[in-house]
Amino acid sequence: MTKKESKIVVAGDVTVDWFMYPVKARDEGENWRLHDASHADVLPGGAALLTSFIKQSIEEEEILATVTGSELPEKKLRNFSPEEIIHSNAMLDNFKTSGDKKTEILRIKEFSGYIGPSENKPPPWMLSLVSKKVNAEIIVLDDAGNGFRKMENLWPKDLESVEDSIVIYKMSLPLLDGSLWKKVNEMHPKNLIVIINASDLRRTAGIHISKSLSWDRTAKDLVYELNRSDPLKSLHQCPYLVVLFGTDGAVLYRRVKEREDEAFVIFDPCLLEDSFASNINGNMIGLTSIFTATLVKQLAKEGFYGLITGIQKGLANSRSLLEIGYKKNNGSESHDALEYPKLKEISEGSVKHTYSCSSIELPTNLKNPDPNFWRILDHNTHNIRQLVAREIVLKGKANGLENVPICKFGDIKTIDRAEIESYSSIKELIIEFLKNQKPKNPLCFAVFGPPGSGKSFGVKQIAKCIDTNRDLLESISFNVSQFGDYQDMVNAFHKIRDLALSGKVPFVFFDEFDSDCNGQPLGWLKYFLAPMQDGEFKEGDSIHPIGNAIFVFAGGTRYTFEDFVQNSHGNGSTPIVVSSEDNKTDQNSVQETEDKDKEFRNAKGPDFVSRLRGFINVMGPNRQPSKEDDDDAFIIRRAQLLRVMLENDQRATSLFNSKRELSIDDGVLRALLNVTRYKHGARSMTAVIEMSRLAGKKRFDLSALPVKKQLDMHVDADEFFFLTEKERYQSMLLLRDLPDPKETSFLKKENSIVESVAAAMDTSMCENKVSPRKGKITKLDKDASFEELKDAAEDIPNKLWAINNGIRKITGKTPHIPDITGDEIETFARLEYGRLCRNKRLRQLSDSSEGKTFNNSMLQSKNYDQLEEKEKDRFRELVYTIPPILKKAGYEIYRMKNVEEISDPEIINRLARDLHEKYVQERQLKGENRETNPSLVKFEDLPEDIKEANFDNIKKIPEKLSWIHYSTRRIQQDEEQRELTLTEKEIETMAKREHDRWVWQKIMQGWTYKEGKKDFVNKTSPFIVPWNKLPPDTRINDFNAVRLIPKLLKEAGYKAYKSDSEKSD
């Protein structure tokens, strides 16, 4: 079948762009050629340039499409008068490229403004550019704010009725203004895409969107302003909005339907906004045009499915154009003609630029843009954080971090949003300060962190990445705690002054500036005030100017900026989370707070803080929770540090194989990553590695660790060795899920969790006396002592980790339905049998030591594979008791895997009702009624747990499809909604898993196995059995449930595709 040819119409503000550029003298020829000169050349700009780029893009991909638009004949460009068409003017220059001093790139050195018509009226010839109505599939409007938006006679005829056409509106200042935007906005085209630059949005009154701090913050700020700001209301209601952040990133905001939005941030994971352009000398016209042309090409090729890919490729092409610059060809005898690089060259240069994509959490309230300190890192790793951390140490990289920002400052690489923002803000401050040739006073900022957290190293790396050639800054350090009197400080300032006079900017590091002075807390602060404010210091009766300088104040006794302003001494420990009851302070604590506040004021603390222009809280390897953030990402920071330390340790060379994969004992790795606190921060981490016996070892095992007394210098050794033994609840739970927040002892907290689970076991046995699958519990189980139950409870995390499952607090109405396969049940059962055998042997040995009869047969237990099936079944059945027991203790099990869920409440509710209606019809056809099956009622009359089961069934459709290696995504507006076709093999695979899921769902609802008929009153069923024991006529129900999935998926507005290839089906 012949594919239909697409039609693309382009219209908008047109300019003639004039460029002056240098031409070097020739070695021979006429006299005038022997002199350096400046030549002028002209190129089409605005919508004419965009039309050219789109045509080249379409031709490059050999897409069947015709492009009509605002083209200007290049031979006549020099003849157009400014009274006819706007002229732009720019000065070009040849710029050297980094790393290649010989190659010169021609780019814009300086923009010289515009010249335009005195009347805002198009010349008659311009009307000929207006295309006739061609029923275009894509209409591109280039509204540069230069009159086109008011000239209705220049608008394309296809705009009169857009219907299903894609309308791309490239918008410039003044934003959201003019009759063109009003017309487009009133038409409500369902396929409208607005492209806008963030720099223009920031110029809108009342709009605050952060810049170059972190992609997390920028993304959250933008979606917050779109939802909050009245001036941006029409943008918020656009079907598609693309906001560009230079060539480094973009945000795609999509309105799926009324009051249901979704947003994505597309970004360079290694660079922040404007970082790429700041390393390129000169500029280019047409960066947004090449982006738009690339997006048009992708939409013409793939429809809305290609939107995110188009944004990524558009950003890459913009960068490539900026890198390549203008080209010169042999245009005439007098000079080489100027031109833009060909699309082929731009595309080839763009391949090296890659961009990641992450969905953005939308605002939950309009009072605070980011109340929970949202992280792209958390968003992409919340289910797999432990796996990611361990993979970083083992392999140096990890799946799950592909779409996470990783910023580098000198030799520091950080993945944590808080650190990225701290370092970025100070870097920007220093850059701005250095641009000022005559600052009035020094730039002052503070850095805080526990000893060994890397305060001085971090700050020096910021200076290093700014002053790469070391020709701007000169570092000098002083330890204030070693000053004996004021004269020592004067001597320090003389050294700083001498440095400033040498021509470089002193980069001064005042360590432990918060030390006591002659017994007065914070006593040195008052002596810093004049140098900070006025850039001068006093010596006797003389006043000396310091000159240009940067002061860095590093805290020694206060470990965060918040500690400093509250005059609170840090202790390097994990801050304690307290309940609302604990916040009730008595008179003593109130008095203590008042005393500290008075002490801070007397020491001139507020005056000192007012002179600071920023601060950094160095996070380090320990958790740093705050009111907004539990800092569960600390384990990723710790993993990165650990990997670097081991890579840099020469003794550890033999621990790595040829693929640079680390050989390390699971217990050792678990302890290194999860121990609560390294007492002296990164120094303690380094010390633990250095004290370990690694030379010549092929594996970092338990025998390599230092002895307990040495280890206790840097970590809690009891806790560390406790973690090496097995997986623990605390190494899997989030901070907010832990009990007894006031309790700081790891071992006591762990025991508290274990006892709560053991108590749930005891209660479950006393209440039910049955297992979910077999109907009764053996005598041994019923007679188990509480200590034995504790031992069983303690081992649960170990088994869960072995089958790639985690544990967390239940947050919803009902717990997560476990996703544990038959093979995993076998693994779990094998581990449980091994635990019981070990305990038997230990008890036997204990009895023997006490003079009791020694039964040698107990030490000769069979291995699991030697057991009869009936014996194995007993251990398999124990697996099914674990999730309900954890539910009683307030916990749920989840698979450590990132899987999408259907999240739209309206879709979930509608499809859950449809699903129940189909179930009722099916059961009634089999002769069932309300007396035999109480579930055959209206959806509203169902018990809450059955309703939740139906909701869960719909939400988990993407997860079910992942069983057969399908991924899911929303269907785009113009995309054909074809129903997924599953093979019989795929249906059978899913039916088996669906039955497993149904069994777990019933067990979690309190159902148990019992032969005979299904009993809805007593919640018993003969079908709570493995798939291989399920009657064939009953298996049909699971097959039917699976066959419904493609239809439900389509009705939900989703598409399934093979995970390794979007092009399937």
pLDDT digits (tens, 9 = 90+) for 597-639: 899 999 999 999 999 999 998 888 998 887 777 888 899 999 9
In a domain, 757, yes or no: yes
Q: Is the pLDDT of residue 876 over 80?
A: yes
Q: Each residue of 212-268: pLDDT tens digit?
A: 999 999 999 999 999 999 999 999 999 999 999 999 999 999 987 766 789 999 999
In a domain, 735, yes or no: no
Element (H, E) at 174: none
In a domain, 167, yes or no: yes
In a domain, 730, yes or no: no
Q: What pLDDT was estimated at residue 974?
A: 61
In a domain, 1064, yes or no: no
What share of the chain in percent tops pLDDT 90?
54
- Per-residue confidence at 1063, pLDDT binned at 50, 70, 90? very low
Q: Each residue of 634-690: pLDDT tens digit?
A: 999 999 999 999 999 999 999 999 999 999 999 999 999 999 999 988 899 999 999
Higher pLDDT, 305 or 309: 309
Helices (DSSP H) in 385-535: which residue ranges? 385-395, 417-435, 455-466, 486-501, 525-534
Q: Are strands 356-359 and 260-267 parallel, antiparallel or unpaired?
A: antiparallel
Distances (CA, A) of 779 to 743, 785, 885, 1002: 37, 12, 19, 25
Query: What CATH number is given to the structural domain containing 921?
Result: 1.10.490
Gap between the Cα atoms of 18 and 9, Å rounded: 26
Q: What pLDDT was estimated at residue 892?
A: 94
**Co-location of 190 and 244 in the same domain:** yes
Q: Is the pLDDT of residue 851 over 50?
A: yes
Query: What CATH number is given to the structural domain containing 549?
Result: 3.40.50.300
Place of tokens 């070693």: 482
Q: What pLDDT was estimated at residue 741?
A: 58
Q: Is the pLDDT of residue 1 over 50?
A: no
Three-class SS state of 542 = strand
Using the CB atoms, write b or e for 567-603: b if 16+ within 10 Å: bbebebebeeeeeeeeeeeeeeeeeeeeeeeeebeeb
Q: Give the start-end residues of each E strand in 24-74.
A: 37-46, 65-68
Q: Is the pLDDT of residue 1032 over 70?
A: yes
Helices (DSSP H) in 675-716: which residue ranges? 682-691, 708-711
- Per-residue confidence at 304, pLDDT binned at 50, 70, 90? confident
**Co-location of 400 and 428 in the same domain:** no
- Per-residue confidence at 277, pLDDT binned at 50, 70, 90? very high
Q: Each residue of 511-538: pLDDT tens digit?
A: 999 999 988 999 999 999 999 999 999 9
CB atoms within 10 A of CB 139: 26
Structural domain span for residue 542 = 417-579+590-617
**Co-location of 786 and 642 in the same domain:** no
Tell me what the mean pLDDT of segment 838-863 comes to: 61
**Co-location of 750 and 662 in the same domain:** no
Q: What is the 3-state secondary structure (H, E, C) of 1020-1044?
A: EECCCCCHHHCCHHHHHHHHHHHHC
Q: What pLDDT was estimated at residue 861?
A: 66
Query: What CATH number is given to the structural domain containing 309?
Result: 3.40.1190.20
**Co-location of 519 and 649 in the same domain:** no
Helices (DSSP H) in 956-1031: which residue ranges? 957-962, 984-1004
Q: Each residue of 320-360: pLDDT tens digit?
A: 999 999 998 765 555 568 999 999 999 999 999 999 999 99
Tell me what the mean pLDDT of segment 974-981 comes to: 78
840: amino acid identity, one letter: K
Q: Is the pLDDT of residue 299 over 90?
A: yes
Average pLDDT of the chain? 87
Q: What pLDDT was estimated at residue 335?
A: 58
Q: What pLDDT was estimated at residue 577?
A: 40
Torsion of CA 226, 232, 237, 242, to 10 degrees: -70
**Co-location of 776 and 698 in the same domain:** no
Q: Each residue of 473-482: pLDDT tens digit?
A: 999 999 999 9
Tell me what the mean pLDDT of segment 530-553 comes to: 93
Q: Each residue of 127-154: pLDDT tens digit?
A: 666 667 888 999 999 999 998 999 998 8
User: Cis peptide leading into 174, omega within 30 of 0?
Assistant: yes
Q: What pLDDT was estimated at residue 570?
A: 58
Gap between the Cα atoms of 428 and 442, Å rounded: 15
Q: At which of 870, 895, 920 does a domain end?
A: 895
Select the highest-mean-pLDDT range: 584-588, 622-626, 996-1000.
Answer: 996-1000
In a domain, 228, yes or no: yes
Question: For 658, phi and psi rounded to 5 degrees?
Answer: -65, -20
Q: Is the pLDDT of residue 849 over 50?
A: yes
Q: What pLDDT was estimated at residue 485?
A: 93
Q: What pLDDT was estimated at residue 927?
A: 87
Q: Is the pLDDT of residue 75 over 80?
A: no
In a domain, 705, yes or no: yes
Gap between the Cα atoms of 748 and 687, Å rounded: 27
Q: Each residue of 742-768: pLDDT tens digit?
A: 667 889 999 999 999 999 988 877 765
Q: Give the start-end residues of each E strand in 746-844.
A: 805-809
In a domain, 1038, yes or no: yes
**Co-location of 389 and 432 in the same domain:** no
Higher pLDDT, 741 or 599: 599
Q: Is the pLDDT of residue 1001 over 80?
A: yes
Q: At which of 690, 725, 760 does a domain end?
A: 725
Distances (CA, A) of 383 to 215, 418, 897: 21, 21, 6
**Co-location of 55 and 165 in the same domain:** yes
**Co-location of 886 and 934 in the same domain:** no
Q: How is the chain split among helix, strand and coil, in percent rounded to 5?
A: 45, 15, 40
Residue 568 in tokens: 């609170």
Three-class SS state of 509 = strand
**Co-location of 186 and 283 in the same domain:** yes
Q: Is the pLDDT of residue 418 over 60?
A: yes
Number of domains making up the chain: 5
What share of the chain in percent tops pLDDT 70?
91
**Co-location of 910 and 995 in the same domain:** yes
Q: Is the pLDDT of residue 416 over 90?
A: no
Question: For 398, phi and psi rounded to 5 degrees?
Answer: -150, 140
Supply angle C-alpha 208, 461, 656, rounded to 5. Answer: 115
Q: Is the pLDDT of residue 1062 over 90?
A: no
Q: Is the pLDDT of residue 854 over 50?
A: no
pTM for this entry: 0.85
**Co-location of 197 and 305 in the same domain:** yes
- Per-residue confidence at 575, pLDDT binned at 50, 70, 90? very low
